[in-house]
Amino acid sequence: MTDEQWEAQNGSLSPIEAVAKGLCWCCTGNGVLYTAFGGVQRTVACPEKCNSGKAKR
Ligand SMILES: [Zn+2]
């Protein structure tokens, strides 16, 4: 998988669209963020500490 494909797993929702669906603005419902740089592909926990991608109340 290329870095671009890896990061595409973050989805295409904008933060505003995610919130409108009741999802976390940061990870847009994934609960994790996919980051890649120079072929090093990582999954990191959402820094917003959301509940598995759901928006906090
Ligand atoms: Zn989140």
The residue with greater pLDDT, 5 or 57, is 5
Tell me how many domains the chain contains: 1
* Residue 56, pLDDT score: 79
| Residue 50 within a domain | no
pTM of the model: 0.85
Distance 37 CA to ligand 1 centre (A): 21
| Residue 21 within a domain | yes
| Residue 20 within a domain | yes
pLDDT at 57 over 80: no
Distance 3 CA to ligand 1 centre (A): 21
Distance 52 CA to ligand 1 centre (A): 7
| Residue 55 within a domain | no
What contacts 41, CB < 8 A, 6 or more positions away? 1, 3, 6, 34, 35
| Residue 54 within a domain | no
Read off the DSSP letter of residue 31.
S
Q: Which of 15, 14, 4 is nearest to 37 (CA)?
A: 4
**Containing domain of residue 29, as a range?**
3-45
Distance 41 CA to ligand 1 centre (A): 19
pLDDT tens by residue, 8-52: 999 999 999 999 999 999 999 999 999 999 999 999 999 999 999
Residue with tokens 């609960």: 31
| Residue 53 within a domain | no
| Residue 8 within a domain | yes
| Residue 7 within a domain | yes
